[in-house]
């Protein structure tokens, strides 16, 4: 058994919750308290009706998520919003959310962990965000692009997602790659990819026009799925809490298919 306050202090410090810039509505940190004690942590990508039910079924008293409760800003606590909040409170389930702080963490971050999963070794950060913070990672390799695409395809398939890849010539090789999990492909990140000589850009998702921009820039973009690419950080953070606080942990898998 651990104190919720101690876990929150640890996560806030480790993830630099107060310092890392994010969308206002991300509201990183403890979003919902419980009675103050934690014995079991459930990790999930999204705060949703399904992950609350899944966490309670697992007898968790802390739900650790990447996408928290307040994405639409101030909102009335009615209908579905009321139902899931009521279930969490009645179930004594605290909620801690970490968005960009968890994307960019050097050991627990979605980006660094996806690189590792794909057997890529980062040599630096990539993906400018509000000034001098960089969310993603980049590095060099010498691999057939097809192999890299296959690694992402296999990973995404485990979460029910079909990776989408912009067209490329047979025999093409990838030498400079970058990763930004989640909604990583945008005109801004593709501009940065061009500036930094990236030839293969691995993301969760992006708007259709990012594919056109990529093709015209000679960059292959591999869209691995928003959900799949953001499953690693919350699980690593929950595993860290196991080590540090002696609590148990579980992953509540609730794929969106996207
Ligand atoms: Zn995301």
What are the C-alpha distances in Å from 155 to residues 28, 40, 145, 215, 246? 27, 27, 16, 24, 30
**DSSP category for residue 172:** -
* Beta carbons within 10 angstroms of residue 55's beta carbon: 28
Model confidence, pTM = 0.96
- Å from CA of 46 to ligand 1 middle: 9
| Sequential DSSP letters for 54-88 | HHHHTT-SEEEEEE-S-TTSS----HHHHHHHHHH
- Å from CA of 7 to ligand 1 middle: 23
Tens digit of each residue's pLDDT, the chain (258 residues)? 999 999 999 999 999 999 999 988 899 999 999 999 999 999 999 999 999 999 999 999 999 999 999 888 888 999 999 999 999 999 999 999 999 999 999 999 999 999 999 999 999 999 998 877 999 999 999 999 999 999 999 999 999 999 999 999 999 999 999 999 999 999 999 999 999 999 999 999 999 999 999 999 999 999 999 999 999 999 999 999 999 999 999 999 999 988
- Å from CA of 31 to ligand 1 middle: 17
Contact 97, 69 (CB under 8 A): yes
């Amino acid at each position: 058994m651990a104190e919720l306050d101690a876990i929150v202090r640890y996560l806030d410090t480790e993830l630099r919750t107060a310092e890392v810039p994010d969308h206002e509505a991300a509201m990183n940190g403890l979003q919902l308290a419980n009675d103050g004690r934690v014995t079991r942590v459930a990790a999930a990508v999204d705060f949703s009706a399904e992950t609350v039910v899944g966490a309670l079924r697992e007898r968790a008293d802390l739900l650790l998520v990447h996408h928290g409760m307040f994405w639409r800003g101030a909102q009335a606590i009615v209908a579905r919003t009321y139902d899931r909040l009521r279930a969490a409170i009645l179930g004594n389930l605290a909620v801690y959310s970490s968005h960009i702080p968890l994307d960019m963490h050097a050991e627990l971050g979605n980006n660094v962990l996806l690189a590792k999963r794909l057997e890529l070794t980062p040599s630096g950060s990539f993906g400018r965000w509000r000034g001098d913070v960089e969310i993603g990672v980049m590095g060099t390799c010498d691999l057939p692009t097809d192999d890299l695409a296959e690694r992402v395809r296999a990973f995404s398939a485990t979460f029910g997602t079909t990776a989408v890849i912009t067209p490329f010539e047979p025999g093409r090789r990838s030498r400079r790659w970058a990763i930004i999990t989640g909604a990583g492909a945008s005109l801004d990140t593709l501009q940065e990819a061009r500036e930094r000589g990236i030839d293969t850009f691995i993301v969760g998702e992006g708007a259709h026009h990012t594919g056109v921009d990529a093709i015209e820039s000679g960059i292959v973009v591999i869209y691995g799925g928003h959900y799949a690419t953001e499953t690693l950080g919350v699980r690593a953070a929950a595993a860290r809490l196991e080590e540090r606080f002696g609590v148990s942990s579980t992953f509540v898998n609730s794929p969106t298919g996207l």
